[in-house]
Structure 1
Amino acid sequence: MKSTLTFIILFVTSIAVAQENIITNIVIQGNKKTKTAALTKLINIEKGSVLDSLKIEKDINRLKRLPSIAHAYYQVHEKEEGYELVYGVEENFTLIPSANVYTTNDDEFAFRLGLYEFNLLGRNITLGAIYQNDIYSSYMANIRAPFLFGKRLGLALNYSNITTEEPVFLENGTADYKYNNTSYEMLGLYQFNLQNRIELGINYFNEDYEYKEGVTDPEVPQDFDVNKLLYKFIYEYNNLDYDYQYVSGFRSILNTQYVISTEDVLPDFFIWWNDFLYYKRIGKKGNWASRLRLGLASNDESPFAPFAVDNNLNIRGVGNIIDRGTGVIVLNTEYRHTLYEKNWFVLQSNVFVDGGSWRNPGGDFGDFGNSQNFRLYPGVGLRFMHKKIFNAIFRIDYGYGVTQDATNGFVFGIGQYF
């Protein structure tokens, strides 16, 4: 009887304590452009639930990952009937121009300009367009609404018309082709929780190759036009934590694609790659960042292999598509240090090493150890940042090759390299 009475007292006491810690009101403050309903939809804490600091911290991390939010915090106020939970946000300016420029010591020059709105209608919808000049003009446009159908389900639509001069590597030398890719893509977006999400979709595109100059091969056509269908699956694990310009944590992005061709000139193929990213705070002003990319594709002996060695993709200073392969191993690692910070402005230095190797089309895994396929480019750079404008990071890097037949050059862009 005594034990039963003790249990009843403890049970009633726990109910009383729980009632005292009940959230009776939730307030969102600090948002001007972003709709309150759009933010409320994304948080997990609800009225009537018990105060839980772990759940609140997850909500804060989710808000800080939104392009519309520069920083987020919370406050708890005790009221007579319970507790009021206040989520405070500092908004980003989200109508952002984008720019990428690169040069090499071969006097090569190309640029990409764009304009993006990352918080369309105040609902964290991204809408943007890009113009690229890389010998020829190219155009791209996309819209991305990750929370279109609730807090988990969204949609993305992409269009591109890209024309470039592509080197094609044949056994007896190199040929230059004018290459055009026109594509239409639709992706479904689903977020399981704060860390895990997937994208699943289809892409219909046309590839047009037109021979310009260089060597020829009777087995490689000089002009052909082919329609293709691409099925895409992306899985992302994201456990990053943001504090303005500083990032810490781990992120993994797996991208898999299966491409079906309507012509025998280019075979069907499967391709996948995984980016592993790791960030660590070093002291008060330092940030170490690394990206490891591993990838493989169907190992067809084709001059149009899918993995490219390129300035804007993987090796800073190497040039524009200097080689191709059916497998890739690339490591980018850099140390970022805040040199100056005042109010909204940040000046950050950058010391990096980019290195990687490729498997030749039709080759084997031993190609990764071949010195002719290996590239190593150390370098330095600067970052000019605005803390209250989303992705407002102007970067300039200079990479200097130290391996066989190396080049060197500048790479300019908006946003961190990775």
Structure 2
Amino acid sequence: MSDRLPGFSTLAVHAGAQPDPTTGARATPIYQTTSFVFNDADHAASLFGLQAFGNIYTRIGNPTNAVLEERVAALEGGTAALAVASGHAAQVVVLQQLLQPGDEFIAARKLYGGSINQFTHAFKSFGWNVVWADPDDIASFERAVTPRTKAIFIESIANPAGSITDIEAISTVARKAGVPLIVDNTLASPYLIRPIDHGADIVVHSLTKFLGGHGNSLGGIIVDAGTFDWSTGGKYPMLSEPRPEYHGIRLQETFGNFAFAIACRVLGLRDLGPALSPFNAFMILTGIETLPLRMQKHCDNARAVAEFLAGHPAVASVSYAGLPSDKYNQLARKYAPKGAGAVFTFSLKGGYDAGVSLVSKLQLFSHLANVGDTRSLVIHPASTTHSQLDDAAKVKSGAGPDVVRLSIGIEDKEDLIADLEQALGA
């Protein structure tokens, strides 16, 4: 190619990949192996000592996974990435590098219900403490900062309501506090929003959702922006202090602007073990090739469905940032001008019972706990994904008792609207 930078669609197809040098295979092969042969004893020692890059064991790295990592890093504008078994695994591995027992991290209240549960309950056993802030009140993030704060965590487009988070404003708070900003970009994908362009230091995804896009493979990924100085103030010893398991190497000093991705691999993935299957990596890579086409269709369909629901007499309200009347529309225009995503909620005048009833009457929409599929999906969050929260917390997270969440697929929009119309009428 010429010296021009490839466009997004070109990167989605080609980044990280090349024909297999042995067989000439054009698609990235599935390297379904546990381990890799060393050239000799010196080669093995250099790999284990982080003095050379290469493959050792698929729990730590695999050539199929490496293509996926390079592709997502390129799409997000990061320096390096690490693929893991799920989005939840990505969050654990990221925070393991940042937090010691007794440390805190600030998280936006509007998050996927599974993340709220993980942060509130599971992380307590590690001694990691979450402090909640309101993404609609930037000052609440500032008030939450203490000397124990080590990170801020937000979603670019929040699940389930599809609200847009002001990434730049919260990034300013993180910079002032001297901590990294972590952005879960699952619902937006880099096609709609690139958080690193707006001040994020780390981006995570559930690859299971829009990047994979077909509801067939679990995966997660961590992208290092290469923007944070991990040596400042001694806050992050996993990166700044000598690592005894690697003969005293200081990761920040040795690996520079991709030190965090290295730490996640050699200190997190190596020891915690949430490795991504090479087969799943292959499936997700195949999905990413059509990401730009799918995301635009998702967004166009979602806008049409939201407009229909907004005018229906059985609907009390619609929360979709793509509607001009929505409170997040200005943020959507700033951060996601190509579309406000495909996941949103609406409230029914009949309350909790009406929400449960509607889900059971839909025929084309699949009732399941996932988003980002080619198929359109529906769920009643208060009775499922957010059921572990009390009523007040459900409302704060955008999952009140009358709320139904839709993930709009790539079917014909007229068919989706017809299905909703018959279910609402029934």
Same fold (TM over 0.5): no
RCO comparison, higher one (Cα < 8 Å, 6+): 2
Normalized per residue, the structure richer in helix is 2
TM-score by length of 1: 0.23
Normalized per residue, the structure richer in strand is 1
The structure with more radius of gyration: 1
